[in-house]
Amino acid sequence: MRDDRGVRTVPSIIHLDMDAFFAAVEQAAKPSLRGKPVVVGGLGGRGVVSTASYEARRFGVHSAMPMAQARRLCPNAAFLSGRFAAYRQSSDIVMALLRERSPLVEPLSLDEAFVDLEAGPYGPALADAGPQTGAQLVLAVAEDLRADILERTGLTASVGAAGSKLMAKIASEQAKPDGLVLVEIGSERAVLSPMPVRALPGIGPATEQTLRRAGLTTVADLADAGEGELVQLLGRAHGTGIHMMAVGHDERAVVPDRDAKSVSVEDTFEVDLADRDRILHEIDQLTARCVGRLRAAGRSGRTVVLKVRRFDFSTLTRSETLRAPTDDETVIAETARRLALQVDTTGGVRLLGVGVSQLADYTQEDLFAQAAQAAEAQTAQAAGTGAGTEESAEVPAEASAGAAGAGGADAPGTAPGGRAPAEPPSVLRRWLPGQDVHHAEHGPGWVQGSGVGRVTVRFETPYGPPGRVRTFAVDDPDLEPADPLPLRRV
DNA sequence: TCTGGGGTCCTAGGACCC
DNA sequence: TCTGGGGTCCTAGGACCC
């Protein structure tokens, strides 16, 4: 199934993309929302739309739109905050179905993945097939896959099949929603040529503008322009990459199991932060969450990054690279705090973020690395390095970690993700629209809304008809948060 | 009621080293 | 004595993607 230049002769790469994924999961889980506009995203004053159902898109609502604007466009939609545990459940099922077709699955996000069918059970048959029958086989496999996904999750997926990642991705976009498109080997240029430059992944608003100023608006224009001009306009890497894509050349392999290269956590505040101490406190909180995820992944990091978005939306980062990787909350918090002192926060801070990069595989128990770090710190101290002295004081001070950050140093094994554990229940009772709940008498349901001491719950499950609404006091002891139900009975 | 959160990759300048 | 030149690391920012 490769020609003598190593190019595929069968469109055996598929790109799968779930349709309006988050919103579709909500509709599958909540029968009363099926066929209705649903908007998932941040519900606060500064939230944006994460996903809009196709019903909501008809009103002009789309991803990344400010939630306030979405409410104006489509006031009757259901506005829900996300339920990531539920999305992961469905995603896991979908990814498992993909892996039945080939071990070579490259997830791009919860709802998107490439699959190389050549490497799977259909590989031999595809290898024996000519271009025509090969394409037929790929279509059959893809339709079977979509049917399986629908049966097992109740969700629709769109699939593109082609001889390269680029064309498979473009094909799945054309297939949306709930469709399948195959780009025949050899027809790549014809498919690409009339498309606007924005159709190519990697061309966003800025690049589009640059190209437009040079008179380049279609992919055919890019191909005709030639590599030289594109490098001139866009720089070495981007220019050559875009040119390769424009002429339909893409031999990138499907690669599974990419290790994360950074871990970060950020928060936008409802009201800008002005107080120095408050800012430092938030940095401690963010650090605790970041470290929680770092440790959960069994990693440590060497570079600490602080991100600050100011009142005027100007965004800057400050980073510091340590002498050795760490997952020590105190060290990371101290570093982030030190970085915070370098930025002018007068006027207010809209967003803070704490991240770690230059990741290494090592865990808290890696005493050798800790010892090495401490020794190096001492050397630095002896050499009179300012930053070194500060850290060397922290590294061995394991016991101080618990005392350091408020909410920091969560007891291991409490809440996943390192959330603050021990708040009184009355304070934790913040009911979010969309959230799964269970009532002692009425059973499973979800929060439709809350306010003025009351919470409204709709009692329904993915398996039954639309349910009835009831209202309770927010601190009703019979009402509890619940885990998401599977979309299909198990 | 203007603009999330979690990532990836690239560029460019300065430090530092050989 | 007078601008070499390349490689690598660090830092900051920007574009892009989902």
Q: Which residues pair with A196 in a beta bridge?
A: A218
Q: What pLDDT score does A414 carry?
A: 30
Q: Is A111 within 7 A of strand C by CB distance?
A: yes
Give the CA-to-C1' distance from A312 to C9 in angstroms: 33
Mean pLDDT of A283-311: 97
The residue with tokens 């927010």 is A474
Residue with smallest Cα–C1' gap to B11? A235
Output the DSSP codes for A91-127.
HHHHHHHHHHH-S-EEEEETTEEEEEGGGSTTHHHHH
The residue among A7 and A178 whose pLDDT is bigger is: A178
The string of pLDDT tens digits covering residues A170-192 is 999 999 999 999 999 999 999 99
Residue from A440, A419, A416 nearest A430 by CA: A419
State yes or no: pLDDT of A329 exceeds 80. Answer: yes
Q: How much is the pTM?
A: 0.88
State yes or no: pLDDT of A419 exceeds 90. Answer: no
Q: Is A212 within 7 A of strand C by CB distance?
A: no
- How far is the C-alpha of A241 from the C-alpha of A231, rounded, in Å? 9
Return the percentage of chain A with pLDDT > 70, whole number: 87
Q: 3-class DSSP state for residue A474?
A: coil
Q: Is A321 within 7 A of strand C by CB distance?
A: yes
Residue from A264, A274, A420 nearest A353 by CA: A264
Give the CA-to-C1' distance from A316 to B11 in angstroms: 17
The residue among A463 and A388 whose pLDDT is bigger is: A463
Strand C nucleotides in reach of protein CB atoms, 7 A cut-off: 9-18
Could you tell me where the DSSP H helices lie in A360-410? 367-382, 386-394, 401-404
Q: Are A311 and A286 in contact (CB under 8 A)?
A: no
> Where are the domain boundaries for CATH 1.10.150.20 in chain A?
195-246
Maximal CA-CA distance, chain A: 73
Mean pLDDT of A100-109: 97
> Where are the domain boundaries for CATH 3.30.70.270 in chain A?
1-186
Residue with smallest Cα–C1' gap to C11? A319
State yes or no: pLDDT of A418 exceeds 60. Answer: no
Output the DSSP codes for A286-344.
HHHHHHHHHHHTTEEEEEEEEEEEETTS-EEEEEEEEEEEE--HHHHHHHHHHHHTTS-
Mean pLDDT of A246-269: 96
pLDDT band at A362 (very low <50, low <70, confident <90, very high): confident
Q: Is A261 within 7 A of strand B by CB distance?
A: yes
Of residues 60 to 119 in chain A, which lie within 7 A of strand B by their beta carbon?
A: 63-64, 66, 68-69, 71
Give the CA-to-C1' distance from A140 to B7 in angstroms: 34
Q: Which nucleotide does the CA of A63 lie closest to, via C1'?
A: C18
State yes or no: pLDDT of A422 exceeds 70. Answer: no
Q: Is A316 within 7 A of strand C by CB distance?
A: yes
- The one-letter amino acid code at A154 reads G
Q: Are A24 and A53 in contact (CB under 8 A)?
A: yes
The string of pLDDT tens digits covering residues A25-83 is 999 999 999 999 999 999 999 999 999 999 999 999 999 999 999 999 999 999 999 99
- Residue A210 CB-half CA count within 13 A: 15
State yes or no: pLDDT of A132 exceeds 70. Answer: yes
Q: What pLDDT score does A429 carry?
A: 73
Tokens encoding A252: 């990138």
Torsions phi, psi of A465, nearest 5? -80, 170
Q: What pLDDT score does A355 carry?
A: 98
The string of pLDDT tens digits covering residues A371-395 is 555 555 555 444 433 333 333 333 3
Q: What pLDDT score does A2 carry?
A: 85
State yes or no: pLDDT of A415 exceeds 90. Answer: no
Q: How many CB atoms lie within 10 A of CB A16?
A: 29
Q: What pLDDT score does A379 carry?
A: 52
pLDDT band at A18 (very low <50, low <70, confident <90, very high): very high
Catalytic residue positions of A, numbered: 112
The string of pLDDT tens digits covering residues A432-462 is 999 999 999 999 999 999 999 999 999 999 9
State yes or no: pLDDT of A431 exceeds 90. Answer: yes
The residue with tokens 């100011």 is A310
- How far is the C-alpha of A347 from the C-alpha of A88, rounded, in Å? 39
Mean pLDDT of A470-475: 96
Q: Are A155 and A149 in contact (CB under 8 A)?
A: yes
Could you tell me where the DSSP H helices lie in A385-444? 386-394, 401-404, 425-428
- How far is the C-alpha of A119 from the C-alpha of A50, rounded, in Å? 34
Question: Is domain A262-361 given the CATH code 3.30.43.10 in the classification?
Answer: no
The rounded mean pLDDT for chain A is: 89
State yes or no: pLDDT of A253 exceeds 90. Answer: yes
The residue among A107 and A364 whose pLDDT is bigger is: A107
Q: 3-class DSSP state for residue A454?
A: strand
Tokens encoding A456: 């409204």
Q: Is A319 within 7 A of strand C by CB distance?
A: yes
Q: Which residues pair with A48 in a beta bridge?
A: A66
- The one-letter amino acid code at A32 reads S
Q: Are A172 and A16 in contact (CB under 8 A)?
A: yes
- The answer to which of A1-15, A305-319, A423-437 has the lowest mean pLDDT is A423-437
Q: What pLDDT score does A3 carry?
A: 86
pLDDT band at A257 (very low <50, low <70, confident <90, very high): confident
Q: What pLDDT score does A430 carry?
A: 86
Q: Is A238 within 7 A of strand C by CB distance?
A: no
Report which DSSP code applies to A21: H
Mean pLDDT of A270-287: 97
Tokens encoding A67: 């939630």
Class of domain A195-246: mainly alpha
Report which DSSP code applies to A400: G
> Where are the domain boundaries for CATH 3.30.1490.100 in chain A?
262-361
- The one-letter amino acid code at A350 reads R
**Fold classified for A1-186:** Alpha-Beta Plaits (3.30.70)
